[in-house]
Amino acid sequence: MNYYTDKKILIIGGTGTIGKRMVKELLKQEPSVIRILSRDEYKQFIMEKEIDDINKRKLRFLIGDVRDYDRVERAMEDIDIVFNLAAMKHVPSCEYNPSEAIKTNVTGIENVIKAAIHHNIESVILTSSDKAISPTNAYGATKLLAERLIQTANYTKGKAKTKFAAVRFGNVMGSRGSVIPLFKKLILEQREILVTNHAMSRFMMTLTDAVKLTMIAGEQSIGGEIFVLKMPIIKLKDLAEVVVEEICKKYGIDIDDVNIRTIGLRAGEKMYEELMTEEESEFAYDRGDMYAVGSITCGLENYEKAYSKYKKADIGKYSSHGKNPIDKEEVRRLILSEKLI
Count of other CB atoms within 10 angstroms of residue 31 = 19
- Position 156 scores a pLDDT of 92
Strand intervals (E) in 236-308: 259-262, 274-276, 284-286, 290-293
The reply to whether the predicted model has a pTM over 0.85 is yes
Distances (CA, A) of 188 to 60, 297, 316: 37, 50, 42
Residue 213: other Cβ atoms inside 10 A: 22
Residues 147 and 312: their CA atoms lie apart, in Å, by 21
pLDDT at 264: 84
Query: Which contacts qualify for 244-253: CB closer than 8 Å, 24 or more apart?
Result: 244/183, 244/187, 244/193, 245/332, 246/332, 246/335, 246/336, 246/341, 247/183, 247/184, 247/187, 247/188, 247/341, 248/187, 250/341, 251/188, 253/187, 253/191
Q: What is the pLDDT of residue 298?
A: 66
Q: What is the mean pLDDT of each run of 10 residues along the chain (341 residues)?
A: 93 95 96 97 94 91 98 98 95 94 98 98 96 92 97 93 95 82 92 87 91 95 94 92 95 94 80 92 94 82 89 94 91 90 85
309 is catalytic: no
Active-site pick, 20, 43, 131, 235: 131
Q: What is the pLDDT of residue 271?
A: 87
Please give the domain boundaries of the chain with CATH numbers for all domains.
8-170+205-231+274-317 (3.40.50.720)
Predicted confidence at residue 179, as pLDDT, reads 86
